[in-house]
Structure 1
């Protein structure tokens, strides 16, 4: 990339960093991106896809595959603790996952296509909303506007602290875990604390459920993990035996099929315990992420792109335990999700002092541009 183009992307990245928008509230960010793409003259723009999402479509003159490259619009409800001049101007919100950098990279891909048009097929540059809550990808897919795109391949990256800058992290098959939030509500009957026998406290059942959930993965084949993240019992009233309790836990697995089994057993365990204590029980699930699973053919394209650019690669054996809602695209589309090292000493994702390193922007753009060279030029 030319130095002036890199400087343009850095300026965009810092502007996005200063003005973070949370999931489902990304209209202002989408507007900034739309303004940036106007001089890049995409053949078509799809607005408000899946919520505040945007899709910029470039078309070739010949038949060929539809290649989708996706990034994320949303930030996090995390106060920023840095001293940078481009620090977040919005109290309690920050781009502490690096989505500002991912957006700038895909903007750089748009600049590259504007300078070197594709010759075949289509390239779709998707700016997806609500990744952090696990809602955005599914909403995009269910949006009737998405049915006109039908990508043959979908690619995305994520910056990875702890890996050397510009190193490409690759894996076939599952790359990031499936996960979901489980909410268990127990209802018994309150009574005076002096006479607990007159009520039905969910305390003991709650304790058994917490212990049982955390032990459940030991009986499962394949990786699984249940983390109890929140629990509340009754009210702060020393004269009252509690009548209600709520337990919240996060379930994680590497494969979607394992998640189905884990969900079934967790539901069964909680229900049996509640019934044995004569409690009413309600179970719901939230923030559901599918496993982000890499297609072998799409993996080969990315591997070849890294080789062509003579970049260092790291082939990992185990998937990451965190989740990414790009996995929703993996269900019906050959996808490839890869990592871009953002520095061994870079603060971890979702830390309050995280700030995307601008020095890796050109590598991200080059990787996606090489994929377009293989598929659409």
Structure 2
């Protein structure tokens, strides 16, 4: 079953409507309502809202025994001011769909239209519009929600558009698809002093000066050898912006990244040891806080093979590609289902993801939908 020209026109218009009304992680109330309204017209057999916060699941059930197959898109945008000038540019100051999640939602809406016209022959198809992917909190919240127990899929599939790859070309590999990562916020507390008598205080400056290169120095390996470990200092502040005060407080933010969750455990231990040592040497108190926690995302071989078969049938070019340094919380669905994610080329000469002038290419809506629909029909009939 294929999308009609009118379908493509309407889905493109809807994608652009979503682009103009971005909501960031955890705030996707209007976006979720828009999804409910658009897909309500397709007559789903079941709708679950408020899933993991603002998430929405739309179910099309054959009424016959069979597997449950889930397709996931993300609801959230980013806290980035859009600088591009499309007619559908963001109307919300300081927020924009700079990652293409608006396009991912349009693909799932296209699936909903097709399942609304013709149900699967067995089992059911689940369209999950997940909140808070950008912070790493959304998938975990969905899985922890008691409402998800009734939806638990046998297979889960997702994609991400990928600038730098030729339009419509796919990277899909077995094994690890995305790295694990987390943000570490370090605070160091001493005692302020008059700038003329710094020796009467306890300054965190030496500790910060030592910590930043030491943390960065934890990095090793590479994606190519599948042993990447990376620590990136993203922010640092020391004291108050005043010339008369020797500082007594500092913060260092660092993003920790590794190929595997086991590698992350080792990296966390090494980073914490560095902080303890620097604080002890400087006579400082310290705290550690973790944010934006992503586990590594790993493709199940059987699920990936199903995607490859669908791409071959649809004439979509694909190759293994490489593990993405960037993180993706879709990996959590691998703990409850056979899951796989692929990367769909958005074009070689367009802005990168999270750039303030990024805009999802509408031509990808039909391509992504065809792949998802083919794998759904292969599994569910």
TM interval, shorter chain, is: over 0.9
Equivalent residue in structure 2 for 1:139, among 128, 138, 141: 141
Deviation, 1:219, is 8.8
Indicate the residue corresponding to 2:180 in structure 1: 178
Equivalent residue in structure 2 for 1:245, among 247, 250, 260: 250
Indicate the residue corresponding to 1:106 in structure 2: 108
Indicate the residue corresponding to 2:292 in structure 1: 287
3-state SS of the aligned residue for 2:76? coil
Deviation, 1:117, is 1.0
Q: CA RMSD in A?
A: 1.3
Indicate the residue corresponding to 2:34 in structure 1: 32
Q: For residues 186-335 of structure 1, what are the structure 2 equivalents within 5 Å?
A: 186-218=188-220, 222-316=227-321, 318-335=322-339
Indicate the residue corresponding to 1:366 in structure 2: 370
Deviation, 1:59, is 1.1
Deviation per residue, 1:106-144 (Å, 9 max, x gap): 000111111221011111100001111111111111111
Q: Tell me the distance in 2 between the aligned counterparts of 1:116 and 1:341.
A: 29
Deviation per residue, 1:293-346 (Å, 9 max, x gap): 101110100010100101111221x31111111122123322101011111112
3-state SS of the aligned residue for 1:120? coil
Q: Contact between 2:221 and 2:229, CA under 8 Å: does it hold in 1?
A: no
Deviation, 1:218, is 3.6
Equivalent residue in structure 2 for 1:115, among 101, 114, 117: 117
Matched, 1:56 2:61: no
Equivalent residue in structure 1 for 2:95, among 93, 96, 100: 93
Deviation per residue, 1:225-280 (Å, 9 max, x gap): 00000001111222221111110000011111101110111111111221122111
3-state SS of the aligned residue for 1:358? coil
Runs of 4 or more, structure 1, over 3 Å off, are 218-221
Indicate the residue corresponding to 2:354 in structure 1: 350
Indicate the residue corresponding to 1:77 in structure 2: 79
Deviation per residue, 1:194-217 (Å, 9 max, x gap): 222211111101111111100012
Indicate the residue corresponding to 1:3 in structure 2: 5
Equivalent residue in structure 1 for 2:343, among 331, 339, 343: 339
3-state SS of the aligned residue for 2:203? coil
Indicate the residue corresponding to 1:376 in structure 2: 380
3-state SS of the aligned residue for 2:123? strand
Q: Tell me the distance in 2 between the aligned counterparts of 1:168 and 1:219.
A: 26
Q: Tell me the distance in 1 between the aligned counterparts of 2:65 and 2:95.
A: 44
3-state SS of the aligned residue for 1:267? helix
Runs (5+) with no aligned partner, structure 1: none
Runs (5+) with no aligned partner, structure 2: none
Deviation per residue, 1:147-175 (Å, 9 max, x gap): 11111111000000011111121111111
Equivalent residue in structure 1 for 2:166, among 164, 167, 188: 164
3-state SS of the aligned residue for 2:65? strand
3-state SS of the aligned residue for 2:139? helix
